[in-house]
Amino acid sequence: MRLFVLCRLLLSIALAAPSSTTAMEFNLVGTTLVLSGGVADNDLAKIKDNLDPARVKLIVLHQNKGGDLWNAFRIGERIRESGVPTTISGYCNSACAIIFLGGVKRTFSDGKELRWTSAGFHGAYNRTTKEANTGQAPPLSYYINNMTGGRFPKELIEKALYIKKNSDFIYAFHPSFYQAKPRGIMECHVPEDGKRKCTMIEGLDAITIGVITDMEITILSDEVKALIQLL
């Protein structure tokens, strides 16, 4: 069964949606399509209108906090079918990270400093109540496993998806940012005392778990950098 059939169950579920999610902005600069802002209900239609593989050669996900899960799944699948590579500029959290995994080739870019560039994963939650919805973990797990070629460890998927609060995250940074000891996978959660705590997970990095496919830093054009400074 195709993943989008499973995801019809997720229409009322969000990932890291802001309280008032606005649709993504689609900006084409030369052959680079820049996606910024939150993922909203009508963004699947927009990607269909804007993603022409004959013209678009790179998708940049810039400063995106996430949003609608169902649209994220479908957009990610659409990108995978197109064969267009994806790269991140700044943070790409939750639904954005799901979209990012759609790229056959996935990198981090020089749009922002590496210390501010990451892909953040976490489980689904109800938009209205903000309560975690771990019942949606199986289709999310299937998608992540499929898009990373089975490289995303099962135990890490469980940490990422079986959350207690919508602020619980697994972040993937570029391995070269931790040159002394290659790593870059960070677990963040909010315990009962309400103080957010983050710890590095030893022995894992973004390339070994399949979040990125290449160590290279994608160099964005001056025109693209000028645009993202305005977004």
Q: How far apart are CA 116 and CA 89, in angstroms?
A: 9
SS3 label, residue 52:
coil
Q: How many helices (H) and strands (E) does the chain have?
A: 7, 12
185-217: per-residue pLDDT in tens? 999 988 777 788 999 898 899 999 999 999 999
- Consecutive H or E run containing 189: strand 185-189
CA distances from 152 to 126, 193, 213 (A): 25, 30, 12
Q: What is the residue type of 138?
A: P
Nearest to 40 by CA among 9, 76, 67: 67
Positions of E strands within 37-147 = 58-64, 86-93, 106-109, 118-121, 125-126
Band (18; pLDDT cuts 50, 70, 90): very low
Residue 11: per-residue pLDDT: 32
Residue matched to tokens 């994806």: 86
Nearest to 15 by CA among 182, 129, 142, 127: 127
pTM of the predicted protein model: 0.88
- Which long-range CB contacts under 8 A does 21-26 form with residues at least 24 apart? 21/67, 21/68, 24/64, 24/67, 25/231, 26/50
* Mean pLDDT score, 59-68: 93
Residue 4: per-residue pLDDT: 34
Spatial contact of 6 and 139, defined as CB atoms under 8 Å apart: yes
72-113: per-residue pLDDT in tens? 999 999 999 999 999 999 999 999 999 999 999 999 999 999
137-164: per-residue pLDDT in tens? 899 999 999 999 999 999 999 999 998 8
27-49: per-residue pLDDT in tens? 999 999 999 988 988 888 889 89
Q: How far apart are CA 21 and CA 127, in angstroms?
A: 10
Under 8 Å CB-to-CB from 90, ≥6 apart: which residues?
62, 63, 111, 112, 116, 117, 228
Q: Does position 9 have pLDDT exceeding 80, yes or no?
A: no
Mean pLDDT comparison of 12-21, 64-73, 189-198, highest-scoring range: 64-73
